[in-house]
Amino acid sequence: MLRLFIIILGMFIILMPSSVFANEDAGKKAQVISLYKSYRASLKEEDNQAALKYAKQMYELTPKVYGKISNPHATAAFNLAQMSELLYIREDAAALYREHIDILDALNVPKDEKYLGKLRLLTKAYMRGDYYKKAAKNGRKELKLAKALNIQDEILAEYELALGIYNYRIYGKAGKAKKRVNKAIKLFSASYGEHHIKTAKALFWRAKLSMGLNKNRKAAEEFENVLEIYNENLDPGHGSILQTHAFLVNTYEKLGEKEKSTEHCIAVAKERPVGFEREIEPLYKVIPVYPHSAERSQSEGYIIAEFIVDEFGQVKDIKTLEGENVKTFEKAAHEALSKFRYAPSIKDGERVKTEGVLHKVTFKMERR
């Protein structure tokens, strides 16, 4: 996987043609060229730390030799951004991609598809670095440019869907986000067909937005549609299938339809590629009610509980193992846990009870 990433990374590296060095100081020029060769060699050897070191040295040297507003420094900023992203130095990656774009703008480079791809990298770096508002702003810029370039519908759909997701995640504006997602669905359907995986991905997000708007009946219908498409196109146990089952558990629990919720708990159990674990995440959970006495006294605490998950994915026989302020929070924690839903365990092809499942419920006052 790492080798594949390095190959892909190499595709994005901007080569420095020798012509850009023609009129520069020969000694410094030779130093930059030497650093670049070492950088490329380190990438081929998959020595990422060495590649990062050489990329930093190039980034520090190029503005001294060519100036900050120059193609060589734009290249150096881009390459260092790529290495920072690879090594999860996310704050640096976002800042460096931003610097790269700013230099390109100052140099009046064409706003073509190559430039659009770099805007995309910047937006994703903002999202990974939790700069959500910046991601949304840059996402709008991407979409505007994509439309101006008359990008193919199937690519434009990706930008529409991404902006819809940004709007929802950042601002919680499900209604506004839904307009973008609906456009994406229309474009994907026209390009690939209604039963394509890409169309299903956009439909999945529309179902999530319906949940956000408390339209749970509509959400259930949409998730069932997505599940049908995934089952047609993906192998059993695929993560997207399991995730859709989990959302259907949530949706049917909110609708009070326990039997349908149980069906999807069992479906996850049958398709899950690994065995049940003591600390596995529930498919459906509820937020515990904060006790009034604890709110008045500003008390906080936690409960670590152990329980049984039965053959239908329901929680039984809850016991407190340990905690902080147990007397204050135990009842509220147990009441919440009793409503959780899990995928039951499968043994020799049969659903069985699972003992010793653990979950920690934390009670923490909201900071204002």
Using a pLDDT cut of 90, give the percent of the chain over it: 63
Per-residue CA distances from 296 to 11, 14, 23, 336 (Å): 59, 60, 73, 21
Find the farthest-apart pair of alpha carbons in the chain and give their distance in angstroms, rounded: 79
What does the pLDDT look like over 93-136, one tens digit per residue?
999 999 999 999 999 999 999 999 999 999 999 988 888 889 88
This prediction's pTM: 0.70
Domain architecture of the chain: domains with CATH = 1-109 (no CATH), 292-363 (3.30.2420.10)
What does the pLDDT look like over 247-288, one tens digit per residue?
999 999 999 999 999 999 888 887 765 554 545 678 888 889
pLDDT at residue 87, as a whole number: 92
pLDDT at residue 13, as a whole number: 45
pLDDT at residue 6, as a whole number: 44
What does the pLDDT look like over 215-228, one tens digit per residue?
999 999 999 999 99
What does the pLDDT look like over 24-58, one tens digit per residue?
467 788 898 999 999 999 999 999 999 999 999 99
Phi, psi of 347 (to 5 degrees): -135, 125
Question: DSSP string covering 2-62, please?
Answer: HHHHHHHHHHHPPP--GGGGTTS-HHHHHHHHHHHHHHHHHHHTT-HHHHHHHHHHHHHHH
Of the candidates 315, 299, 303, 311, the one whose C-alpha atom is nearest the C-alpha of residue 357 is: 315
pLDDT at residue 322, as a whole number: 92
pLDDT at residue 51, as a whole number: 94
Q: Tell me the pLDDT band of 368, cut-offs 50, 70 and 90.
A: very low
